[in-house]
Chain A
């Protein structure tokens, strides 16, 4: 069982990559595009955040459109009563004949009675609330004094945020209460001492458990994940806490944390066998974990992941893939598909570039890729038809139309809804991309 040692060496982790906060990444040409953006707004993140944080309620202050988006966007309605809702503004609110604070207070009172188990309430700003300049931060402060629950606010509006930026803003809103010595006090924090490592971004519960076990086996015992499963049990952080990203869309929260003195472990994201290995190795190096010990810890799961990947990813070899801008996961996914599945990315569209988050991933991508920031959906579709990739990763609004035109697609929303991080899920992630291709081979009915 000596394989891991050799394998680790093979995975060409640049030793210095994570040592300096401002690592130099290679430059790439990016086409900026403006036009119709076929991307969700930040409110959409509520669909998973409200399940992740079980004692939190998300109250969107917005319009009927916001409410309709929330119940339609995910394509699912969960049978349990949702822990989110929309305070729908009406003519009285717009004309000013109803007092905003009174109205909001009435709704929050009702909510508190109806859902007494709620410990944290997020007031979520929307396009209309921002255009008419409702101050949700002040409203939250006010409600905090009235109710024995924590009230926070963040923006999920489409004029300010795209899809996954809602989560970024939500997490950023939590950070102030996590800093040691914050007025929130120790009641709210889960740890009596600041954690050593903060893992930033939503992961599936099972992934959190797997990573926690691996990190503890490496010798890092004080690990916290944000968002937490309980919004009222937040980890404590201080200048000795190191932060590592597990999602590429949490840049604002990251910058907020580094402002508080936290050290950012820059690396790739833990997708696939090699991505997970690099991610863990970067953490291990940041904590000066003995490399032989590290190899021993990752040996079994790494070997499992590689074996499973070999079995699953074969159909992707040599295939061409294009991405429509969606969740910011486009570049990490392209890296995974290129490096670990042998696919050739053709065009990668992203809502926006955040080099601090995805720089390490860019370094691992080949040069012949067309990068597009922003979107003009009609132009992008025209290019797609020119390119004719074997697989297109796109949102649900485009999936069926593209399939009908003969292009295989993968819904990008599954990438934020499924456990895809880590060694044990590496092959599952590859399988997500294999499935649409395999299905086309299986079906003998005419297109």
Chain B
């Protein structure tokens, strides 16, 4: 048993639904109780899909349990086959149906006269999650369609794009961008699966020279099987960022056997120049914290570090299946990867690394907003605002342009930053005053426990204690309400060390770097065994840490 407040991934049947919903004329009969139909609105609301997802739910109730839920399932399959006339019928169960053990797969396969290919899905709902469900559903349908096929004698010089799906981050636009990119080097896209795929597309997969694994979370298992079965090489480079896009072009050209020299000399992204233009000096060393699915986390870290000149201070993923890859990436930035599906753990990591920008999912957007840190969503799960009307891929050269704009925009830039630093006494520059970023929340004014916190619990020393729910800390020394500090100064740490002068000087430091300055000064004091922090200590510490 594990406590979850917000979750990054839904249950496995949601992943399967993403695959079925991606495909054309496929249908999914899901053995599930009333209530599980909530999943429809993920598609119709978040992606604004203009039709219902192709899912029939049996919606059994308690009164059915005593009678015949298996029969209810069979009737639902027959009804759906008749009503929707799909080319392929997926059948499966949600967590509750797994417990009543009707075994929908066997039931559906045993229906006489059911004139549609059936793909049974069995996902362990109590141990696996959404991306696993998506990956397995794709693998199941590909295997069902192709298991008796042999390696074709001749192949067209083309690739398959494996992994884009419904509710995947910017998949709709990424496909378009990657297909255009392939076209530019004379490589055809043989098939894209599962997004918009027909059964014929799946049937044609072995015809391509190679498979591009665009999103490992959904496509890896299928790519590996196609490689074993049909000796199709897998192209692993995810074309996010300018360098990765160039590597992708090279890898495809090599696998398919075309010459991409000309195309490589003429890349079409503005990112390199924008990043080298003098305005971008302000981006140098911006501290960025990244938490996403593995594909986007690894790619974002590279773009942040190599193409924007940020400092990657945190990197992690909720995709445990790809923990190894994310760990390796993190190591290359000299940090330890955070592999977890507990958003509270992620929030603690964000707080302790004090980033200036968070790149993450919907969950990170929430925590960044609470903490007053700039944020951009780069991965599922996301909300409706991350399905923009405009063309906004993440992949390819245009994707790099989009990334430059959308990651840089939330940051405080250039002269604004200088003015805030120069004239800290300007009454309109108060910490609560808005910049172009909007008003700022802060660590102190908006506690991690949200509206539930009482003043007695918020003393400067125990903000983290409240967050970490360290009961022993909350029970000691916090009853003295005279210590309560309500100004939104974004401070945490040991205030008793600070002299009045030093504290006043500290407040002249702009709020967005003040936390770091305070932390460094206290670390310095601790390191040198100082009992008080004076004005001198503040500047000693500043000098000590300069350039580090």
- Contact at A38–B37, with CB atoms within 8 Å? yes
- Chain A residues with Cβ below 8 Å from B61 are 158-160
Q: Which of B45, B52, B124, B453 contacts A75 (CB 8 A)?
A: B45
The stretch from A182-190, A256-264, A393-401 touching chain B is A393-401
Closest B residue to A87 by CB, please name it.
B1
- Contact at B450–A89, with CB atoms within 8 Å? no
Considering the complex, which residues of chain B in the window 444-496 have a beta carbon less than 8 Å from any beta carbon of chain A? 448-454, 457, 469-471, 474
- Contact at B469–A65, with CB atoms within 8 Å? no
- Say if the beta carbon of B366 comes within 8 Å of chain A: yes
- Say if the beta carbon of A385 comes within 8 Å of chain B: no
- Contact at A110–B50, with CB atoms within 8 Å? no
Measured CA separation A82–B6 after assembly (Å): 8
What is the predominant secondary structure among interface residues of chain B facing chain A?
mixed
- Say if the beta carbon of B150 comes within 8 Å of chain A: no
- Say if the beta carbon of B261 comes within 8 Å of chain A: no
User: Given A68-B11, A128-B99, is A158 in contact with B45 using a C-beta cutoff of 8 Å?
Assistant: no
- Say if the beta carbon of A104 comes within 8 Å of chain B: yes
User: Given A65-B95, A77-B366, A128-B95, is A398 in contact with B52 using a C-beta cutoff of 8 Å?
Assistant: yes
- Chain A residues with Cβ below 8 Å from B37 are 36-40, 397
Measured CA separation A104–B7 after assembly (Å): 19
- Chain B residues with Cβ below 8 Å from A83 are 452
Measured CA separation A131–B11 after assembly (Å): 18
- Chain A residues with Cβ below 8 Å from B512 are none
- Contact at A113–B38, with CB atoms within 8 Å? no
Q: Which of A36, A93, A397 contacts B38 (CB 8 A)?
A: A397
Residue of A79, A90, A158, A403 contacting most chain B CB atoms (<10 Å): A158
Measured CA separation A409–B222 after assembly (Å): 40
User: Given A88-B4, A159-B60, A397-B44, is A69 in contact with B95 using a C-beta cutoff of 8 Å?
Assistant: no
Measured CA separation A264–B455 after assembly (Å): 42
- Chain B residues with Cβ below 8 Å from A106 are 1
Shortest distance between the CB of A363 and any CB in chain B (Å): 30
Closest A residue to B44 by CB, please name it.
A400
- Say if the beta carbon of A390 comes within 8 Å of chain B: no
Q: Which of B7, B44, B370, B383 contacts A67 (CB 8 A)?
A: B7
Considering the complex, which residues of chain A in the window 14-28 have a beta carbon less than 8 Å from any beta carbon of chain B? none
User: Given A68-B11, A115-B449, A404-B50, is A87 in contact with B3 using a C-beta cutoff of 8 Å?
Assistant: yes
Q: Which of B42, B49, B58 contacts A36 (CB 8 A)?
A: B58
Measured CA separation A100–B13 after assembly (Å): 25
* Per-residue A-contact encoding for B90-103, CB less than 8 Å = 1, 0 else: 00001110011000
Considering the complex, which residues of chain A in the window 103-118 have a beta carbon less than 8 Å from any beta carbon of chain B? 103-104, 106-107, 110-111, 113-117
The stretch from B125-133, B206-214, B243-251, B401-409 touching chain A is B125-133
Measured CA separation A62–B129 after assembly (Å): 15
User: Given A81-B450, A400-B48, is A131 in contact with B100 using a C-beta cutoff of 8 Å?
Assistant: yes
* Per-residue A-contact encoding for B163-175, CB less than 8 Å = 1, 0 else: 0000000000000
- Chain A residues with Cβ below 8 Å from B39 are 72
- Chain A residues with Cβ below 8 Å from B34 are 37, 39, 41, 158-159, 162
- Contact at A63–B126, with CB atoms within 8 Å? yes
- Say if the beta carbon of B228 comes within 8 Å of chain A: no
* Per-residue A-contact encoding for B1-24, CB less than 8 Å = 1, 0 else: 111111101110110000000000
- Say if the beta carbon of A391 comes within 8 Å of chain B: no
Q: Which of B5, B36, B450, B471 contacts A79 (CB 8 A)?
A: B450
- Contact at A132–B44, with CB atoms within 8 Å? no
Measured CA separation A116–B4 after assembly (Å): 18
Measured CA separation A37–B59 after assembly (Å): 6
Residue of A38, A106, A395, A397 contacting most chain B CB atoms (<10 Å): A397
- Contact at A36–B127, with CB atoms within 8 Å? no
- Contact at A91–B126, with CB atoms within 8 Å? yes
Shortest distance between the CB of B429 and any CB in chain A (Å): 26
Shortest distance between the CB of A34 and any CB in chain B (Å): 9
User: Given A41-B33, A131-B100, A396-B41, is A68 in contact with B7 using a C-beta cutoff of 8 Å?
Assistant: yes
Shortest distance between the CB of B346 and any CB in chain A (Å): 13
- Chain B residues with Cβ below 8 Å from A100 are 1
- Chain A residues with Cβ below 8 Å from B124 are 91
Shortest distance between the CB of B96 and any CB in chain A (Å): 4
User: Given A69-B35, A79-B369, A113-B471, is A85 in contact with B4 using a C-beta cutoff of 8 Å?
Assistant: yes
Measured CA separation A416–B370 after assembly (Å): 27
- Contact at A110–B469, with CB atoms within 8 Å? yes
- Contact at A401–B52, with CB atoms within 8 Å? yes
Measured CA separation A103–B3 after assembly (Å): 10
- Chain A residues with Cβ below 8 Å from B127 are 90-91
- Contact at A117–B452, with CB atoms within 8 Å? yes
Considering the complex, which residues of chain A in the window 40-84 have a beta carbon less than 8 Å from any beta carbon of chain B? 40-44, 54, 59, 63-65, 67-69, 71-73, 75, 77, 79-84
- Contact at B7–A131, with CB atoms within 8 Å? no
Closest A residue to B470 by CB, please name it.
A113
Shortest distance between the CB of A204 and any CB in chain B (Å): 17
- Chain B residues with Cβ below 8 Å from A178 are none
- The contact sample of 27 A-B pairs, CB cut-off 8 A, is A35-B79, A37-B59, A38-B37, A63-B11, A63-B95, A64-B7, A64-B9, A64-B125, A64-B129, A65-B10, A65-B94, A68-B14, A72-B41, A73-B41, A77-B383, A80-B452, A81-B448, A81-B452, A82-B5, A87-B3, A113-B469, A157-B35, A159-B65, A159-B96, A162-B35, A398-B40, A404-B50
16 further A-B pairs in the complex, CB-CB below 8 A; given A37-B59, A117-B452: A36-B37, A40-B35, A64-B95, A87-B1, A89-B1, A91-B126, A106-B1, A113-B470, A114-B449, A131-B65, A158-B33, A162-B35, A396-B41, A397-B38, A397-B44, A404-B51
- Ranked nearest first, the 6 interchain pairs of A and B with the lowest CB-CB distance are A41-B35, A80-B450, A158-B35, A397-B40, A404-B50, A114-B469
Q: Which residues of B contact A (CB under 8 A)?
A: 1-7, 9-11, 13-14, 33-42, 44-45, 48-52, 56-62, 65, 76, 79, 83, 94-96, 99-100, 124-127, 129, 362, 366, 369-370, 383, 448-454, 457, 469-471, 474
